[in-house]
Amino acid sequence: MSHVSYEKDGRIARITLNRPEVMNAISMRMPADIAAAVAEAEADRDVHVMILSGAGAAFCAGYDLTEFAQAEGPNPGVQDMPWDPMQDYQFMWQNTQDFMSLFRAMKPVVSKIHGFAVAGGSDIALCADMTVMAEDAQIGYMPARVWGCPTTMMWVMRLGPEKAKRMLLTGDKISGREAEEMGLVLKAVPAAQLDDEVEQLAGRMATVPINQLAMQKMVVNQAVEMAGIQQTQRLATIFDGITRHSPEGMMFKQRSEQMGWKQAVQERDQGTFDWTTGEELPRRNR
């Protein structure tokens, strides 16, 4: 688990996304490392609760676009045309299932968000049972504008349709404070209080027998499953592949190769570029 660290601290397992030099951007191997860490905590009869966090300045800045977008040529996320949808689906569905190991685990998981939990990083954070954010942290799924569809689709399960649309039809980022007000996360606290808040919550749950924790989590999860989360995720994963291979998605990949992913992302998020024509948008359309 070179891109995720694991530490056992009494009854608490600490799972840490561990690529701080790139704000814990998701690499090819990170999803499997997350699932492996969850499996280790699940197998340990002394562990009652997991805390998921990120090393360094952020929780997770999403998929590593240096690896997936800026590098020239095909990769597991972007194929040459004509593309094979099922090859893409197999790759992204595995990542989705690795992230969802947090949700499916019998033991509760608390995600602790500082800095950013954006794009694919929000997919990871929202798969936890409870999410606590610093008030000044940012969460959002900006690739909803171009080049992505959130494959875990926990936005709609947490927010309902109207507020999920508000986030996914704009690709906006919001602060921890607004995320709490919206009902996306359990709580937002001042950054200096984040560690203590999460420790108190995890410590409280750690006093409950494992079997009790498992039963309560499973019965709540069943309600989410009955609402059709897996079917929604299958469609979202298919659509995610389409977004990366649509004309606009391929234009984003080309722009990232030519100008660097940072400029492409800035143009996407600020709405200053037309991904159909490849031209700068008139100011009135921004």
Tell me the C-alpha distance between 5 and 222, whole Å: 30
| pLDDT tens sequence across 118-173 | 999 999 999 999 999 999 999 999 999 999 999 999 999 999 999 999 999 999 99
Encoded amino acid at 234, one letter: R
Question: Is the Cβ–Cβ distance between 144 and 120 less than 8 Å?
Answer: no
**How does pLDDT run across 106-121, given as a tens digit for each residue?**
999 999 999 999 999 9
Q: CA distances (Å), 16 to each of 37, 170, 187, 203, 217, in order? A: 9, 30, 20, 18, 22
pLDDT score at 122: 98
Which range among 193-197, 205-209, 233-237, 278-282 shows the weakest confidence by mean pLDDT?
A: 278-282
Res 180: pLDDT: 98
Q: What is the pLDDT of residue 282?
A: 80
Least Cα distance to 116 among 81, 145, 142, 96 occurs for 142
Residue 286 clears pLDDT 60, i.e. is over it: no
Site of tokens 């299932």: 97
Write out pLDDT tens, residues 50-98. Answer: 999 999 999 999 999 999 999 999 999 999 999 999 999 999 999 999 9
* Cβ contact 127:99 at 8 Å: yes
Closest-CA residue to 122 (of 169, 67, 165, 60)? 60
Q: What are phi and psi of 121, to 5 degrees?
A: -65, -30
pLDDT, position 284: 59
User: Residue 196: which pLDDT band, with cuts at 50, 70 and 90?
Assistant: very high
Q: What is the DSSP string of 150-166?
A: -TT-HHHHHH-HHHHHH
Please give the distance of CA 2 from its chain centroid, rounded to a whole number.
19
- What is the average per-residue pLDDT within 229-256? 97
Fold (topology level) of 4-285:
2-enoyl-CoA Hydratase; Chain A, domain 1 (3.90.226)
- In degrees and rounded to multiples of 5, residue 138 shows phi and psi of -125, 140
Q: What span, in angstroms and rounded, lies between the C-alpha atoms of 178 and 269?
A: 19
Decide: 29 and 76 in contact? Cβ < 8 Å: no
pLDDT of 283: 67
pLDDT of residue 31: 98
What are the structural domain ranges in the chain? 4-285
- CA dist., res. 267 & res. 194, Å (int): 32
| Residue 1 predicted with pLDDT over 80 | no
Which value, in Å, is the radius of gyration of the alpha carbons in the chain? 19
pLDDT value of position 285 = 55
Residue 137: name the closest of 70, 211, 195, 188 by CA.
188
Q: Which pLDDT belongs to residue 252?
A: 97
Q: ∠ CA(238), CA(143), CA(52), 5° rounding?
A: 90
Average pLDDT, stretch 203-209? 98
